[in-house]
Chain A
Amino acid sequence: MSLTSAEFKKIVSKKYVWVLALLLALFYAYMFLNIGDNFSVVYSKRALQPVFQEIMDAAYDPQVQEYVIKNGFNVTFDELKPLISPKIAQTIEQYQGKIYKGYDVAKELKDEAAVRIESLVERNVTINEMIQELKNKPDTPLNRYLLQQYTHMPKMEPNLTRWDDWIDINNSMLPLLIAFVVILGVASVYTGEYTSKMHGILLTTKNGRSKLFWSKLLASCLFAAMVVIIFQSLAAVLHMHVYGFPFKNTPMNSLTSFYKRPNTMWALEFYLCQLAGSLLGAIVLTAVTLCISSLCRSNLVSFFISGIYFALGALFSQNLEGQYITSKVTIFADASTFSLMSLTDVLGNAKVFIIGNHVIPTIILTLITQAVIFVVALFLTHVFYNRKEITA
């Protein structure tokens, strides 16, 4: 019998973990399937995807730009119609007379097309203005960095790809669900030995100290990875079902929430980073939970303290969304395990912090902090596990 497989089986054989995981998965699925038939989900972006290129061309057409700017970024589709590709109108015409849940589909799509063009023009104008402003601002490290980022951004595209919905998967809810199940499974890894009075026997066996410690760590990390894979797959399947997979990659600045952020990444690249962050964050959380478990004598106490550790980072992060400079106030949230699992705030907003004359991406701080937390947690786990019997 391999120790790691025995430890893994001990974790996954806890029925309450799977019952709660199933309930959470069902709740998550229910929420998504519930919005699956919304007008905006069924039509707004999906119906315009075949004319993605035409909408983009329109937004970059000098004539259209001039008209939109002249009208204060408030134009109708009918006003734009003579200036844009007829294919857009033809695509929308297919839905003429169709009513969906009280919405006139063709009318709504015309509005949507106009908004997409208008919005793209507006966003390009805003970014160009920001670049001009930065050129005139004092030469500070932050201004230099921002200018560098904004001038090297990929060409902005209409926000029709669905990448904003996919990136939103890891914004807050999924990391919380994953963390909950990971903590639930791992919180009792050491306290369970104590409550079942196995602690004394384990510590007196040849492999019951270091080898068991590593086996427990590996088994817990495997469990965390399994939870991440299950929940990320579930989320991907649900998003695929509700929104469909994004039909093309797009720059992050094309997504409405991120267009002002100094982010030069592409959405697919960012989503893959989120998946990696989700896995790494879950593993750090596993190490922290193991550490707390090795210190506590009750499964519930271990569960709650681990939960508080994660929730504090999550709560703080949620209150700070939208900034792109890490400060003394935000540093706790930015370096938190939640931030690593979500990455929306730290990497999506391309957060940076400034030390002297240097601008450093906050993600580096997050990664270093989490690596340190991981190592310290493992060290303390080893110490606590081996010394727990002292006061027993």
Chain B
Amino acid sequence: MQLRTQNLTKNFGNRCAVDHVSLNFERGVYGLLGPNGAGKTTLMRMMVGILPPSSGKVTLDGVTIGELGAKYRDILGYMPQEVGYYRDFTAKRFLQYLGALKGLDPKYANRRIDELLDLVGLADVKNKKLGQFSGGMIRRIGIAQALLNDPKILILDEPTAGLDPNERVHFRNILSELSEERIVILSTHIVSDVQSIAGQVILLKEGKVVNCDTTENLRHMVEGKVWLATVTHRELNELKKRFPIGNVLQKDDHFEIRIASDSKPLQNATAVEPSLEDVFIYVFGGQAE
């Protein structure tokens, strides 16, 4: 199974949100990284077929997703950035409704719903109305609905936003288990989520793919370009104007900082092994979240 985007472009008026993006997806987890406005959501919307591209196409095994239509949607699981729901529906009824929309046999759907509610930790509130759910619970329902039809292609837009650290770890584990036999594409602001599970990371900037590689290779790409330094508050402010700054850790009256720079930024700076977060800082500079 191969999902491809070929010169995929989306213009909104004069603004180009996604610019000739060509990517290949095969089995595994793909992390889509980029600052706000990089075009991640637009790219995902085109890939799930709810936003027609201005040019280019999305194909599955050589056939465009438009031609595949319901066949493509049958193997697709999608969780949008803002998870929609009906306030008056209970969690179980909501998933039953989506089960019907996904064409699942009611008996199978009910069994699957119980499994998924258990998986996302909502089994004890399955008869509670969604209007009473917290933001994190709604996201978990969003994850459950995306998994309902056991999709071969799973596209998740910011799935971990609003989840607490425990829930995020739990969710990452679920995705890792799922990734064996399917394509999982997720966008996130939380770099650590991608670092731990994504086989491939796609860096998207201003609608263009900056890089697409394994976490390891991306880290190699910035090797020798990430520095650790101890600075004063005044020096920190000076450096912020000149270099993209990563983690800032306050230690007594000074700060321990990570700097992304092609050359040694300070005399006392020492090169350190880069993390994916450093790659993000290096590539996106001050736009990092």
| A contact residues vs B (CB 8 Å cutoff) | 1-3, 6, 10, 13, 193, 196-210, 212, 387, 389-392
Contact = CB atoms under 8 A, between A and B. Distances in A.
B84 A206 contact: no
Contact of B100 (A13, A197, A200, A207): A207
B84 to A, nearest CB: 3
Classify the interface of chain B: helix, strand, loop or mixed: mixed
A301 B160 CA distance: 35
A358 to B, nearest CB: 46
Contacts of B82: 197
A207 B49 contact: no
A153 B97 CA distance: 57
Given A206-B149, A389-B45, A1 B78 contact: no
Interface of B: 12, 45, 48-52, 69-70, 73-74, 76, 78-80, 82-88, 93, 96-103, 106, 109, 145, 149
Contact of B45 (A3, A200, A210, A387): A200
Given A207-B102, A390-B52, A6 B97 contact: yes
List the 9 closest A-B pairs by CB distance, nearest first: A197-B84, A198-B84, A205-B101, A204-B78, A200-B80, A206-B74, A206-B103, A389-B50, A1-B96
B95 to A, nearest CB: 10
Nearest to B98: A205
B12, B45, B74, B87 — which one has the most chain A CB atoms within 10 A of its CB?
Answer: B45
Contacts of B85: 196-198
B98 A207 contact: no
B99 A1 contact: yes
Nearest to B12: A391
Contacts of A387: 52
Contact of A205 (B79, B80, B102): B102
Given A196-B86, A200-B78, A206-B70, A2 B50 contact: no
B154 to A, nearest CB: 11
Nearest to B73: A206
Contact of B102 (A6, A206, A392): A206
A212 B50 contact: no
B83 A197 contact: yes
Given A205-B102, A207-B101, A197 B80 contact: yes
Nearest to B101: A205
B281 to A, nearest CB: 31
A10 B88 CA distance: 9
